[in-house]
Amino acid sequence: MPGAERIALVTGASAGIGVYTALGLARAGFRVIMAGRDAARIERASRIVAERAGAGAVETALADFASLAAVRRLAEEVLARHEYLDVHLKNGGLIARRRLLSEDGYELTIAVNHLAPFLLTNLLLDRLRASAPSRIVTVASQSHRGARLDLATLAAPPDWTPLKAYGRSKLCNILFTRALAKRLEGSGVVATALHPGLIATKIGDTAGSVAGWGWRVVKPFLTTPDKGAETSVFLAAVPDATPFHGAYVIDKKIAEPDPAARDDALAERLWQESARLVGL
């Protein structure tokens, strides 16, 4: 059963939106598990949150989402540390500069941005159900618009570019949330996906020569990471998140995603293929 202290797990918490998401949740009264892949960076980020929100507001965990084994270790660690979990907030992601493979042999962008969060959520799902009312919040992106999935080549797309791979992974985030929400109906666990805005983080710096150059040019004019965290914090902390169950949210309001992201049959096929790829 949930305890007096609310617990939130935030992945991708070592920089950018993730730091401000952790800070916002800590200020809202959560004890935040800040997860990242680099020990030095996550420690620095946790110190920022602790200094601004209180020393007892944060703890850290390590996991490289390019490794499904590391994701399993993270789940085991979180489950061992805490008897309940109020919020699972998936913020981590990347745009790869060149085509790379994960430790498991999958295209890196889909592995880090979709398969790893898919696996982690499923490994934590029983604990989240037992902790209801609880939340699962996934940071997606408007970059999903126009993306299309060929599930036969999900982990090894033949038409790879940095932005195509990123857009497909964000489409997967929304479809996964849609399929997850159906599975959680009546459980007290609310699952939502969101677009944080076009945020001035480092994620676009590695988007290839032309796209990366364009990103660096426009970045000074984009929304700051603290503003980008606002919708994530809102969905995690709002007293009643039920109206947002299964929804795609922009600026704290329900929005319509691309038609491909509303395809329930595709969402279910994606779930089954993702489960196969991660070994569930």
Active-site pick, 20, 84, 106, 166: 166
Give SS3 for 181: helix
Beta strands in 19-130 (DSSP E): 30-36, 58-62, 87-90
Q: Are 16 and 201 in contact (CB under 8 A)?
A: yes
Q: Which residues partner with 34 through β-bridges? A: 10, 60
User: N- to C-terminal Cα distance for the chain?
Assistant: 26
Q: How many helices (H) and strands (E) does the chain have?
A: 10, 8
276 backbone φψ class: left, alpha, beta (φ>0; ψ -120 to 50): alpha
Residue 3 burial (CB count, 10 A) = 12
- Is residue 20 among the annotated active site residues? no
Starting at the edge strand that comes first in sequence, how are the strands of the sheet with 87-90 ordered?
A: 58-62, 30-36, 6-11, 87-90, 134-139, 189-195, 248-250, 253-255
Please give the Cα distance from 46 to 52 (Å, whole number): 10
Taking residue 21's Cβ as centre, other Cβ atoms within 10 Å add up to 32
Can you read off the two tokens belonging to residue 201? 């983080």
Report the greatest alpha carbon distance in the chain: 51
Residue closest to 145 by CA, chosen among 166, 165, 171: 171
User: Any idea which residues carry the catalytic annotation?
Assistant: 166
